[in-house]
Structure 1
Amino acid sequence: MEQILSRQEASEAVQDHGWRYMLGTLQTSVPVGALAQAISLAADAVAACGDDADRHLRVDVRPDLAVFTLQSLDHAAVSTRDVELARRISATADKSGFLPGPGLAAGAPRSVQVVEIAIDALSISGIRPFWKAVLGYADEAGAEGPEDALVDPVRQGPAIWFQQMDRARPQRNRIHIDVCVPHDEASRRIEAALAAGGRLVSAGRAPAFWVLADVEGNEACVTTWQGRDG
């Protein structure tokens, strides 16, 4: 029977198979030498997933890279089935001579990541319908409340989530970007941002997230799955 896994359980179940847990999904990337190879790998992955492919697997194929994402769309979470499918895909790729991995070790331009946009609001229920309509977004499975996050139904754009404000903050940006990275790569991403002129605003909630800012004070958060339970 399919069971929903905790963040820790999901991460530990796939870590040694070249996957990383990322905001309710499992992700891996496979560098390739041509688009035909990426498409062939995608076809092999679909075959390995069988009847579960349509409800669990998404693939982004490029001439130099294939990125695989697993999530139970019925639950908007990672399940034991997703873990089994991840292991199948890794075994299939390995047989074809390709090594799945988060990305950096394999020489990809960057590792896997998930980008979200956070919007501060005094009345989340008041602004949420506008963003849902103007972006053509939809409710995530099991999240249809007036303050829940929104997702792109075709999974091309970043998710939108809303952060409750207790008072107006006219001197601070009201929209910021969250960049979710593999938990074992967060320090490298932060170091790169600081070296590029950024500053660390807060590490009080690390390793769930670090708040960074550019030289003009615009903020972004580097996030991981860790530190969110309890």
Structure 2
Amino acid sequence: MTEWRLVEGTLTTWYDASSHAAGAALVERLAATGVDVDLRANGLRLRTRDEESAGEISKAAHDLGLTADPSVLQEVRLAFEASDPVAVTTFWRTALGYADTSDGLQDPLRRDPTVSVHQLTDSRPLRNRIHVDVVRPSDAVDAVRAASGQEPYGAWGVALADPEGNEADVVPGDQLSPEATDWWANFAAMVFYPTTSSTQASRLVSAVAKLADDANTPLQIDLRPAGVMIDGSKDQWEDDAPNGGAAFVELARRIQDAAHELGLAPDPQPLRFVQFGIDAVDADVLSTLWRTLLGYQPDPREQVSDIYDPRRLNPVLFFQQLDANDERTKQRNRIHFELVVPQDQAQARIDTALSAGGRVLDRSDQHCLLSDPEGNEIDILTVH
């Protein structure tokens, strides 16, 4: 099965596809439960722990004429170093609504990036240059604020800090529209429908794929054993986006109607949008390096510094101006990124980062710690 790779201990592959419906055709042929599917307008990622299931998927994909591209497989994660890992873990578990796993804190639906917390051995008292935005439905944000015992602060009045000063902007979302009350606007417009069978879930995926193609609107359609998440991606529902505004609300309403016809009801509890910000003295230089390393694309909007995964499988990064004299430039962050890639792709990623201005800080057989020109770190991992 040359098209499958082990990523985070899971057999993973990506198939290019010409439309949502072309990818949904493969979903319709999946008999196995327990397969994670991330369907996009340009293809789909599949993850399974079962070699037999992987083989059946490969055969079905080949029958449909789909082509695999394992070179694009990656997982972007976040790691904290903390003097008191237990206290820091407790804060982020609550803020993100994550679950404890052997690999760290994890989104139960395995959509948003995994977070790990490691022991800090030296003092780094200044604010990080890397920070987190997490957007959840307003009730969930109220609960996070109550659990933290803090009053939100900062320029937008939404910042909270863990016990060691690592900050998150914990932003309350709101319902998308009176016409599409199942949906929430959490930077991205999204809805989750729990399902009771693989047949029911597959029917919803196929219906949503057709509606998205008809509307010429790219969606994230993520199938899990627990249900189906439908996500419009960051800001793509807003008035100034292509097919945004009233057109997106109409698509959301039609998807909602299709779900109701299948007897489905929404559950807002799993809804979450997570992105990472980097304070930068030279945002253009850093953006180029991170885009090159991650295979990301720049957001085309003026005055927006976002870079994003063209397959919408990994988190958005954005850059904020930092004064060159800011004392934080002299201190290592307590936060760094981790990039998990297939073993046969690691050296290519390292070479790419070095060609764009990165430098190696530490290296072993299973990892390579790199720094960008301003000291922000990413650890390229191949551990299975």
**Normalised TM-score (structure 1):** 0.59
Report the Cα offset of residue 172 of structure 1.
6.7
Report the Cα offset of residue 97 of structure 1.
0.5
Aligned residues: 157
Match of 1:120 in 2: 279
Q: Which consecutive residues of structure 1, in runs of 5 or more, have no partner in the other structure? A: 1-9, 105-110, 178-230
Match of 1:60 in 2: 222
Q: Confirm or deny: 8 A CA contact 1:14 1:20 kept in the other structure.
A: no
Match of 1:154 among 305, 311, 321: 311
Q: Confirm or deny: 8 A CA contact 2:180 2:252 kept in the other structure.
A: no
Return the letter of the residue paired with 2:183.
W
Change (3 A) 1:171 1:77: farther
Change (3 A) 1:14 1:38: farther
Runs ≥4 in structure 1, deviation > 6 angstroms? none
How far does the alpha carbon of each residue in 1:14-48 deviate from its partner, in whole angstroms, 9 at most, with x for none? 5862110021x210001112333222111122334
Return the letter of the residue paired with 2:306.
A
Match of 1:173 in 2: 333
Report the Cα offset of residue 80 of structure 1.
1.1
Deviates more, 1:32-41 or 1:154-163: 32-41
For 2:335 and 2:179, locate their aligned partners in 1 and report how far apart those are by CA, in whole Å. 32
Q: How does 1:26-37 map to 2 (within 5 A)?
A: 26-37=189-200
For 2:229 and 2:277, locate their aligned partners in 1 and report how far apart those are by CA, in whole Å. 24
How far does the alpha carbon of each residue in 1:113-154 deviate from its partner, in whole angstroms, 9 at most, with x for none? 1111111211111211100100100012435x7x72100000
Return the letter of the residue paired with 1:86.
A
Q: Confirm or deny: 8 A CA contact 1:26 1:78 kept in the other structure.
A: no
Match of 1:13 in 2: 177
For 2:334 and 2:178, locate their aligned partners in 1 and report how far apart those are by CA, in whole Å. 36
Q: Confirm or deny: 8 A CA contact 2:180 2:256 kept in the other structure.
A: no
Q: Confirm or deny: 8 A CA contact 1:30 1:101 kept in the other structure.
A: yes
For 1:39 and 1:116, locate their aligned partners in 2 and report how far apart those are by CA, in whole Å. 29
Q: How does 1:196-207 map to 2 (within 5 A)?
A: none
Q: Over aligned residues, Cα RMSD in angstroms?
A: 3.0
How far does the alpha carbon of each residue in 1:71-107 deviate from its partner, in whole angstroms, 9 at most, with x for none? 36993784211101111111111111001242x2xxx
- The residue matched to 1:93 in structure 2 has which SS? helix
For 1:86 and 1:99, locate their aligned partners in 2 and report how far apart those are by CA, in whole Å. 14
- The residue matched to 1:21 in structure 2 has which SS? strand
For 2:283 and 2:243, locate their aligned partners in 1 and report how far apart those are by CA, in whole Å. 23
Change (3 A) 1:16 1:79: closer
Give % identity: 29
**Normalised TM-score (structure 2):** 0.37
The structure that has the greater radius of gyration is 2
